[in-house]
Structure 1
Amino acid sequence: MLTIALEQATFHAYHGFYPEETIIGNDFVLDIAVRIPGTVPVDDLSETVNYQGIYEVAKTVMAVPRLLLEEVVYELSDVLKQRYPAIQKSIVTLRKMNPPMGASIRNSLVSLEKEY
């Protein structure tokens, strides 16, 4: 298997359950890893998953506010699989930095691992 990944892509987005989160927004850190068959060497971009394409999908999905981070990671994994049918596994991890909980917490985290 061949893994293609983006690590620590940062976004300012408006995901959150509480009304102030949809107004003020928050900083998010996104890790995405996808696996495709890797039995032969890849020498052409059309034979792999373009990490620029992964970023474009992430940017589009992150721009649509969602109440729950779970919705975001499911949407990301679904859109990636649609765009790149060769994906056999994906791991999407989304961190909300400094979640508004009235406590000193670096981040909350939701991670989804899917096999297709």
Structure 2
Amino acid sequence: MLTIALEQASFYAYHGLYPEETIIGNTFILDIAVRIPDMQHTDQLAETVNYQGIYEIAEAVMAVPRPLLEEVVYALTDELKQRYPAIQHSVVSLRKMNPPMGASVRNSLVSLEKSY
């Protein structure tokens, strides 16, 4: 299997259950890794997963505010698989930096691992 990934892509977005989160927003850090069948000696971008395409999908999904981070990671995996049918496995982790919970916490994390 070949793994293609983006690590620590940073977005400012408006995901959250509480009304102030949808107004103020927050910084989110996204890690995305996908696995496709091994393709030895390919030099054709169309035969693989383009990490720029992964970023474009992430950017579009992050732009749509959702109340739960779980919704965000599910939407992202669905869009990735739709654009790149060769994906056989994905891991998407989303961190919300400084979550508004009245405690000193660096980030919250939701991670989804799927096999197709």
TM-score of Structure 1 vs Structure 2, range by shorter chain:
over 0.9
Determine whether 1:42 maps to 2:72: no
- Supply the distance in 1 between the matched residues of 2:41 and 2:106 (Cα, whole angstroms): 40
Unpaired runs of 5+ residues, structure 1, are none
Of 30-39 and 52-61, deviating more is: 30-39
The two structures have a TM-score, normalised by structure 1, of: 0.98
Residue identity opposite 1:52 in structure 2: Q
Determine whether 1:91 maps to 2:91: yes
SS in 1 for 2:16: coil
- Supply the distance in 1 between the matched residues of 2:99 and 2:80 (Cα, whole angstroms): 27
- Supply the distance in 2 between the matched residues of 1:33 and 1:46 (Cα, whole angstroms): 18
Deviation at 1:40, TM superposition (A): 2.2
Residue in structure 1 matched with residue 15 of structure 2 by the alignment: 15
Residue in structure 2 matched with residue 61 of structure 1 by the alignment: 61
- Residue-by-residue CA offset, 1:23-80 (whole Å, 9 max, x unaligned): 0000000000000000522211011000000000000000000000000000000000
Determine whether 1:109 maps to 2:109: yes
- Supply the distance in 2 between the matched residues of 1:51 and 1:58 (Cα, whole angstroms): 10
Of 30-39 and 55-64, deviating more is: 30-39
Unpaired runs of 5+ residues, structure 2, are none
Deviation at 1:14, TM superposition (A): 0.2
Identity %: 79
The two structures have a TM-score, normalised by structure 2, of: 0.98
- Supply the distance in 2 between the matched residues of 1:39 and 1:13 (Cα, whole angstroms): 36
Pairwise CA RMSD of aligned residues? 0.6
